[in-house]
Amino acid sequence: MSDLPRPGVVERLSSTPSETEIDAWHAVVTAAHRHDMPAGVPGPGRVETAGQLRVPAARSRIVRLAVPAPGGDGDGYAGVALIRLFEDDVNRRTAWIGRLAVRPDQRRRGVGSLLWHEIRAVLERERRDSVSLELEIGSVGEQFAKERGFECGLQLVLYVQRIADEDGGEAGDEAGDEIGAPELPDGYRFVEWTGVVPAANAALFAGVRNAMADAPMGELDQQPMRWDAESITAAQRGFVERGGHLFTVTVAAPDGTYAALTEVGVRSPGDLRAQQYETAVAPAHRGLGLGRAVKLRMVQLLRAQETPVREICTHVADDNGPMRAVNKLLGYRPERSVGIFQAKVK
């Protein structure tokens, strides 16, 4: 029994974790990733882990929990958990588990249960009614979560678009055809930037970002955030402060407002796989091919930047027909199924 974690040994890391704490945390998440994820799915980089621990996501506080490994000093952590406590008005009663992972050699010893017990205590103290997290369908995590009252509230498929070959040459779509150049209707034009949105574009960008409110959220309590110039600037700045590279393409309509956007992020410099974040077309401009155009322009932009990025991955809800159709045209292929699971706290 001596090598089992003792009850009550969950540590809470400060908001400025040391390099040693970040290394120990990163060792857990990378070992879990190698053990649990299909080969070929790139794991998180160290910059991403450090950024996630040090810089909270938009309008949120984070709580970082760790269970020390039973070997004592210098042996790192047996398991870690990160809770995101939303602070925007619409999401103040819910929360997100950004990480809950146990080192493969420390599993089935109660570490996951210990972390979950502490997560619940935090959520109760913070008066949260529910909490959600993303899980691989068919994984051990899904089994663990279902036994703790989580239910799938939104089913998603993770798709990957190959944009460059191993040697950096341009990759085509599944049929081997070149992915193509974007076309815009008369009077529309691209406005794009890397990093944080320029001050002059922020209000227009926030306007079109609110069109995301239409994306299906399934049975989840979490609601899309509402953005203004200040909050959208802070969100993009947060991503950059976490050490990532961010690319944004928008389309300005003839009246000067923004009609469409797409955002892609590289969480650690050198990552081969970029993450697609929001893509949205404002309701008045749908049906004009702008969703396809912004994504094609993004591929051109990434190639022009000469980043090491080889592929872009995106999550799409099973019932989001229009987005799936756009992605199919662009050569995205399905990789695996995930779900957003939610549990009531009380």
Locate tokens 């017990």: which residue?
A: 117
Q: Is 59 left (phi over 0), alpha (psi -120 to 50) or beta?
A: left
With CB under 6 A as the rule, give the number of residues binding ligand COA: 21
Residue 10 sits in the site that holds ligand COA (CB under 6 A): no
User: Shortest approach of ligand COA to residue 247 CB, angstroms?
Assistant: 29
Phi, psi dihedrals of residue 143, rounded to the nearest 5°: -60, -50
Residue whose Cβ sits closest to ligand COA: 141
Q: Rounded to whole angstroms, how far apart are CA atoms 302 and 99?
A: 29
- Considering the complex, state which of residue 145 and residue 235 has its C-beta at the smaller distance from ligand COA: 145
Which of 1, 14, 19, 108 forms a contact with ligand COA (CB under 6 A)? Answer: 108
Could you tell me whether strands 77-86 and 94-102 are parallel, antiparallel, or unpaired per DSSP bridges? antiparallel
Q: Give me the helix-helix angle, 321-329 and 290-304, nearest 10°.
A: 50
Region 135-194 residues binding ligand COA, contact defined as CB under 6 A: 135, 139-141, 143-145, 147
Which of 30, 113, 210, 275 forms a contact with ligand COA (CB under 6 A)? Answer: 113
Residue 243 sits in the site that holds ligand COA (CB under 6 A): no
Q: Among 252, 334, 237, which residue's Cα sits nearest to residue 290?
A: 252
Stretch that binds ligand COA, among 18-26, 104-112, 242-250, 309-317 (CB under 6 A): 104-112
Query: Strand, helix or coil at 175?
Result: coil
Residue 30 sits in the site that holds ligand COA (CB under 6 A): no
Which of 13, 50, 100, 312 forms a contact with ligand COA (CB under 6 A)? Answer: 100
Q: Among 133, 168, 141, which residue's Cα sits nearest to residue 310?
A: 168
User: Shortest approach of ligand COA to residue 101 CB, angstroms?
Assistant: 4
Angle at 85 between CA 82 and CA 86, to 5 degrees: 135
Residue 112 sits in the site that holds ligand COA (CB under 6 A): yes
Phi, psi dihedrals of residue 287, rounded to the nearest 5°: 85, 5
Stretch that binds ligand COA, among 14-22, 38-46, 94-102, 251-259 (CB under 6 A): 94-102
Which residue ranges make up the site for ligand COA (CB under 6 A)?
32, 36, 100-102, 107-113, 133, 135, 139-141, 143-145, 147
